[in-house]
Amino acid sequence: MSNLVSKVKLIDVSEIIMGQSPDSSFCNTKGIGIPFLQGCGEFGKTKPEPTNYCSNPKKLSPKDSLLISVRAPVGDVNISDQTYVIGRGLAGIVAKSINLRFLYYSILQFRKN
């Protein structure tokens, strides 16, 4: 029995959205706007627990996408349960030709690499 391993590039199976911080004058903790995540500090076990909001976002990661930390600690991952404004510490990964849960667990498996 042969042991076949197929490798694909992330960009070939998903859309990657790099975060960009909005102007701080549009950010608040009063629940006005869309939940805003700067980094993985508000990550829960599998989904974020936001405390900040933004009324004029620059970059959005849609519901049912992955949120991955691109600054220390690099590689922490959550699944977005709603649309989030993402800052420079995060990237959004929208699964295109791959199952979202499979992608999530694949990234978890290899994140230390």
Residue 38 included in any domain: yes
The pTM score is 0.91
Residue 1 included in any domain: no
Number of structural domains in the chain: 1
CATH number at residue 87: 3.90.220.20
Helices (H), the chain: 10-13, 100-110
Residue 5 included in any domain: no
Q: Which residue has the tokens 């989904």?
A: 47
Q: Which domain holds residue 41?
A: 15-110
Cα-Cα-Cα-Cα dihedral of 51, 82, 10, 88, to 10°?
A: -30
HEC profile for 56-70? Answer: CCCCEECCCCEEEEC
Query: What's the pLDDT tens digit per position in 44-74?
Result: 999 999 999 999 999 999 999 999 999 999 9
Residue 33 included in any domain: yes
Instruction: With CA atoms as reference, report the closest residue to 62 among 14, 110, 98.
Output: 14
